[in-house]
Chain A
């Protein structure tokens, strides 16, 4: 049993198809939807944390790609630009799961695997050093 985060992008033609049901029924995958959105061009984006056997996950991803759905492995949608970050700590104030925290030298560390994608850190960063890949 493994867990991984994947970012799916649905082109207009694929938006609306019951892909999630197929993943559960046919590929025995279990998942949490972390983010879902459809933009003005009816292009959908779905961030999933999927759990299942490696072989089932691989087969599920092949199935998605066969249906014109983009699949990207992601650790976190949140990216910290180290060149802009000054390690002030303002983002850690709003990170409920300590995915952003200060290390023993008061330098910011980003544990991407812990991120719940709430995106509040993006607003909290005074240097605007945090952005999302979505």
Chain B
């Protein structure tokens, strides 16, 4: 029997909703069958905790006296945008610091702020009639700011490449360190627990979906950048390449520093581990079928990251069960496989979201708008000469 968002939320309010994780639901479907399981389970929680570079924070510091229109801004030595109004800024997660480079970047400042630490704010300005101050040097804490929210333009990739290096040199990538001569393979997903792999056609995840975001209740605010729903899919609709992404928004003041962490990729740059959990309402048997997917049925491709131009060459299609097994056969050679996103922490997040829902602290939000399902990726053409 089909359920509505309202009916599920009423069960959550009464403390009667049946909530399980996307890993637990696999056995429930095997035991009860699809139809009975769809009647029994109300919400399936999914989660991921991995590096997501396209992340950052909007901050408003409040006005000093006399006031300043901040033009060049830095927080703990990390440059933030001076391209907004007087005391608004956007701090990008991957921005390196002036003194420590990629070892301490925007993501680390964001983590320090969420952890309640004081951060060194330095800003300069030309000075204007209404904003006469030309420089400011002070310490700020999250609780002292007016607003502070993460707005991450691209998080939660539906699926992602696995990476290998066929060259004779070690390479340093955002997919970790890749050893020469196909020495290792890395992959980055929560697989059968991953949010968008459990709703491959985005039937329940759209603009306005409420979710677990860094320990706070956040929202899907838009489609993520490089949103690619026109991607290759299997016969059931699961993407076998990158697929959809989400733009997320959430209040930093309610976040937990354990779930928003600065990260460093050697000779690549700073990134940010973002903890996301998305509840999937089991509205009908179709949704139950989608969430019961297993790693053995989810596929990606191994790409050669030693070739940077013209796209990474595709070496092999592999399932996440194969990648999780510890080695994959490439041209007759068993290659060691390693994850880059933390399944351990993703499981903690799926359980925490599960508890929020069971305790009646978190309710489902039906999307106010669905995302386009035939959105293809564009690339950047290099044009010469004058504007045309």
B343 contacts chain A at the CB level, 8 A cutoff: yes
8 cross-chain pairs, A with B, having the tightest CB-CB distances, nearest first: A93-B338, A126-B263, A89-B339, A106-B343, A87-B344, A123-B266, A88-B342, A92-B338
The number of chain B residues with a CB under 8 A from chain A is 27
Task: Note all chain A residues with C-beta closer than 8 A to B184.
Answer: 93-94
Cross-chain contact of B341 among A88, A102, A123, A128 (Cβ < 8 A): A88
A94–B186 Cα gap in the complex (Å)? 10
> Which of A87, A107, A124, A127 has a CB less than 8 Å from the CB of B176?
A124
Is A105 part of the contact surface with B, judged by Cβ < 8 Å? yes
Closest A residue by C-beta to B263: A126
Tell me if B339 and A128 are in contact (CB < 8 A).
Answer: no
Q: Collect the chain B residues with CB atoms within 8 Å of residue A116's CB.
A: none
Scoring B176, B178, B186 by chain A CB atoms within 10 A of each residue's CB, the highest score goes to: B176
5 A-B pairs whose Cβ atoms sit less than 8 Å apart in the complex: A88-B341, A93-B178, A94-B184, A102-B339, A126-B264
Contacts of A106 in B (CB 8 A): 339, 342-344, 347
A13 to B308, CA, bound (A): 52
| Interface residues in B306-340 (C-beta closer than 8 Å to A) | 336, 338-340
Q: List residues of chain A with CB within 8 A of the CB of B51.
A: 126
How close is B250's CB to chain A, nearest CB, in angstroms?
A: 20
Residue pair B261, A89 in contact (C-beta under 8 Å)? no
Partner of A89 from B265, B266, B340 at Cβ < 8 Å: B340
Cα A126 to Cα B338 in complex, Å, equals 14
Known contacts A94-B177, A126-B51, A126-B273; A88/B339 CB under 8 A:
yes
User: What mask results when residues 69 to 91 of chain A are scored 1 for a CB within 8 Å of chain B, else 0?
Assistant: 00000000000000000111110
State the Cβ distance, B368 to closest chain A Cβ, in Å.
Answer: 33
Residues of A within 8 A of B273 (CB): 86, 88, 126-127
Verify B177–A86 contact, CB threshold 8 A: no
Alpha-carbon gap, A116 to B266, bound state (A): 21
Decide if B345 is an interface residue (CB 8 Å cutoff). yes
Max count, chain B CB within 10 A of own CB: residue among A86, A87, A93, A128: A93
Interface residues of A in 76-134 (CB under 8 A from B): 86-90, 92-94, 102, 105-107, 120, 123-124, 126-128
Interface centre among B50, B179, B273, B340, by most chain A C-beta atoms within 10 angstroms, is B340
Is B271 in contact with chain A by the CB < 8 A criterion? Answer: yes
Q: Can you list, as one digit per residue, whether each of B178-195 has a CB less than 8 Å from chain A (1) or not (0)?
A: 110000101000000000
